[in-house]
Structure 1
Amino acid sequence: MGYQAMLPPGVVVLERGWLSSNNIVIRGRSGAAVVDSGYCTHAEQTVELVAHAAGDRTPQTLVNTHLHSDHCGGNAALQSRWPGLRTLIPPGLAAAVRNWDEVALTFVPTGQRCPRFDFQETLRPGEAIALGDLSWEVHAAPGHDQHSVILFEPTSRTLISADALWQNGFGIVFQELEGERAFDEVAATLDLIEGLEPQVVLPGHGAPFVDVAAALGRARSRLEAYARGPARHASHAAKVLLKFKLLEIQQVTVADFVAWAESTAYFGLVWRRWFSGTPEASWIASLLEDLVRSGAARIENGMLAND
């Protein structure tokens, strides 16, 4: 059975790829809700997709599962298109959004962008929120992001998992890059998801899926490998951040891209903690070579391009 047949009425999944997170539109009798808004370079497309999915329902509520740029970068555009859009964010970074602290929000340290947006309320783990005509449980899901939440609709057993669980893994564990122990939090969140017994999972990236046990098994296997070798996780994280930027800009000289990475805080953080035995520029160049070997990028005549 495909996942569409298992979704509760009114739920539409907009699968977006990897620069933008997936968007979930939930239509109700009197309006619509949106979960996550993608990256800023796709904001115009996000508005169009949401408007089409909402149909004759006006978007009234916007929820962010967490505040990484690929999940909230379209907030400002959605708020502009639908003035009065009630926006809810996870607790923990409310002051950073209110004061627009782009360092605390990780936009500056990762070299990413997000237009300023407003919010009205914070989500409360342990409580429920009405989205469309459905009541969704809010659960804290630290690990990938310490402030992240996941949303669970218990009647249909539908889980909006954000980056806590994908079909083939989970998102970078940023606290580990910053020197804080967080792999145990990832494990606890995976246990939480297993305990909820979802029948269908709507992830932050990639296709929705129904074989939750298999996905949990793959995620735990990856987590165990990272816990045994945290440098492996750190290297993977650096390559993900490089690929993200390349998806945004599409093409750049190798020299300029290496210089950008050297000036971006997270790369220096990872390099100093795990790879300082190699000059930073050489380490970054080796990561680009790995991306080329994997088919995620190409280099021709000194130009690096997305592939």
Structure 2
Amino acid sequence: MSPEPSRPALPSWLTWWERPFPDANALLLPGRQPALIDTGFVGHADETAAWAHAHAGTVGLVVNTHWHSDHVGGNGLLQARGAAIAAGTPEADAITRRGPGCCAAEYLDQPVAPYTVDLALDDGQVLRLGDSDWEVVRTPGHTPGHLALWQPEQRLLVVGDALSVYDVGWVNLALDGPDAATTALTSIKRMADLAPRVILPSHGPVPADPAAAFAAALRRAQRLVDDPAGAVWYGARRIFAFALMIRDGIPADEVEPYLHARAWLTDAARLLNVPPAVVATDLVTDMLRSGSVVLRDGRLHAAADHTPVAPEALRLPYPRAWPATEPR
């Protein structure tokens, strides 16, 4: 048998932090213009800031691959310490307007500390991050403003949640429309065409074989296109598992009331054309059967490795209660 391929070598001028859920991985680029790509979950913002300070001294710019809670949780703290925040259009514009749907925080019931966006990023824009130039590549699908970052000299590609070694990003057919899965597939094809030497995903390890990782991602994304109901269930499983992670589980007798109160579950039921109560019951049953959730000490827990979150981190206001911003 041939040996398993090893992870491609990373340049010495970047620092990579592979983090367990509920945090996204972080990429730090020290240098003359120190930058951090994604800031993890708000419950671990102090840890994120301390890590960045230890490795770079300061952070002048934060770039978010997209606005979900596991990617923007340290934004507010780092911005208060002097960092500017950059995000892809249209998410940057929505944050500036303080729209109630910002970060899908209320929809997903995931806390996000208030922040503002200083720089809206467009496709093809070049950013100096650390001491190297990176190109913004718009990759909508997982969210409308999702972006990748491409460093052509070293052929490094930050892919956000578009793909990892074990899955592709879930798509929200309710909020983003029935073509969201096709949009995500197109974005993965666009990234694959860059033929990167290194893929830097937001979750899980750096893939040892980028071409194989893209081939698997394209197959998975095509399945979401071909099976819209399967895409709805896939998203529901991911959202619910994350809810369990950040809450240290949910008491078993409170799980279904919790699910019945969620807008995302109501939307899933509508798309599946079944009652919400059926979706809630089937979701829990399916995830227990698959082992992705476990019942322990009277609470339902996510089985995937994750880092505990202090309960007070969940008490932040939703974006509709964030302070207003001045028009840019």
Give me the TM-score of the superposition, normalised by structure 1: 0.91
1:19 alignment partner in structure 2 = 22
Q: In structure 1, the residue corresponding to 2:253 is in which secondary structure?
A: helix
Letter in structure 2 aligned against 1:272: R
Letter in structure 1 aligned against 2:195: E
2:119 alignment partner in structure 1 = 121
Letter in structure 1 aligned against 2:154: S
User: Residues 249-288 of structure 1: CA distance to partner in whole angstroms, max 9, x if unpaired?
Assistant: 0122223222122111111001111041xx4234212212
Deviation at 1:67, TM superposition (A): 0.8
Judge conservation of contact 1:251–1:304 (CA < 8 Å) in 2. Answer: yes
Q: Return closer, same or farther for 1:89/1:109 CA change in 2, 3 Å cut-off.
A: same
Deviation at 1:179, TM superposition (A): 3.5
Letter in structure 2 aligned against 1:34: L
1:273 paired to 2:271: yes
Letter in structure 2 aligned against 1:290: D
| Aligned counterparts of 1:290 and 1:50: Cα–Cα separation in 2 | 39
Judge conservation of contact 1:145–1:175 (CA < 8 Å) in 2. Answer: no
Deviation at 1:227, TM superposition (A): 2.1
| Aligned counterparts of 2:293 and 2:183: Cα–Cα separation in 1 | 32
Judge conservation of contact 2:93–2:120 (CA < 8 Å) in 1. Answer: no
Partner residue of 2:259 out of 258, 261, 264: 261
| Aligned counterparts of 2:175 and 2:213: Cα–Cα separation in 1 | 24
2:310 alignment partner in structure 1 = none
Partner residue of 1:42 out of 19, 41, 44: 44
Partner residue of 2:35 out of 33, 37, 45: 33
2:59 alignment partner in structure 1 = 59
Q: Return closer, same or farther for 1:257/1:44 CA change in 2, 3 Å cut-off.
A: farther
Q: Point out where structure 1 has 5 or more consecutive residues left out of the alignment.
A: none
Give me the TM-score of the superposition, normalised by structure 2: 0.85
Q: Return closer, same or farther for 1:301/1:49 CA change in 2, 3 Å cut-off.
A: closer
2:309 alignment partner in structure 1 = none
1:303 alignment partner in structure 2 = 299
Deviation at 1:128, TM superposition (A): 0.7
1:250 alignment partner in structure 2 = 248
| Aligned counterparts of 1:207 and 1:42: Cα–Cα separation in 2 | 20
Partner residue of 1:183 out of 178, 181, 202: 181
Q: Which has the higher relative contact order, 1 or 2, with Cα contacts under 8 A spaced 6 or more apart?
A: 2
Judge conservation of contact 2:173–2:232 (CA < 8 Å) in 1. Answer: no
Letter in structure 2 aligned against 1:72: V
Judge conservation of contact 1:199–1:210 (CA < 8 Å) in 2. Answer: no
Deviation at 1:188, TM superposition (A): 1.6
Judge conservation of contact 1:164–1:171 (CA < 8 Å) in 2. Answer: yes
Judge conservation of contact 2:135–2:151 (CA < 8 Å) in 1. Answer: yes
| Aligned counterparts of 1:298 and 1:130: Cα–Cα separation in 2 | 45
Deviation at 1:31, TM superposition (A): 4.6
Partner residue of 2:142 out of 141, 144, 168: 144
Judge conservation of contact 1:160–1:203 (CA < 8 Å) in 2. Answer: yes
1:9 alignment partner in structure 2 = 12
Q: Point out where structure 2 has 5 or more consecutive residues left out of the alignment.
A: 304-328
| Aligned counterparts of 1:91 and 1:176: Cα–Cα separation in 2 | 20
Q: Give the paired residue count.
A: 299
Judge conservation of contact 2:94–2:102 (CA < 8 Å) in 1. Answer: yes
User: Residues 180-224 of structure 1: CA distance to partner in whole angstroms, max 9, x if unpaired?
Assistant: 312221222122112211000100111112411111111121122
User: Residues 135-168 of structure 1: CA distance to partner in whole angstroms, max 9, x if unpaired?
Assistant: 0011110111121110010011000010112123
| Aligned counterparts of 2:281 and 2:298: Cα–Cα separation in 1 | 12
Letter in structure 2 aligned against 1:149: L
RMSD value over aligned CA atoms? 1.9
1:294 alignment partner in structure 2 = 290
| Aligned counterparts of 2:273 and 2:114: Cα–Cα separation in 1 | 34
| Aligned counterparts of 2:6 and 2:229: Cα–Cα separation in 1 | 38
Letter in structure 2 aligned against 1:58: T
Identity %: 28
| Aligned counterparts of 1:306 and 1:164: Cα–Cα separation in 2 | 22
Judge conservation of contact 2:163–2:201 (CA < 8 Å) in 1. Answer: yes
Judge conservation of contact 1:275–1:283 (CA < 8 Å) in 2. Answer: no
Q: Return closer, same or farther for 1:12/1:192 CA change in 2, 3 Å cut-off.
A: same
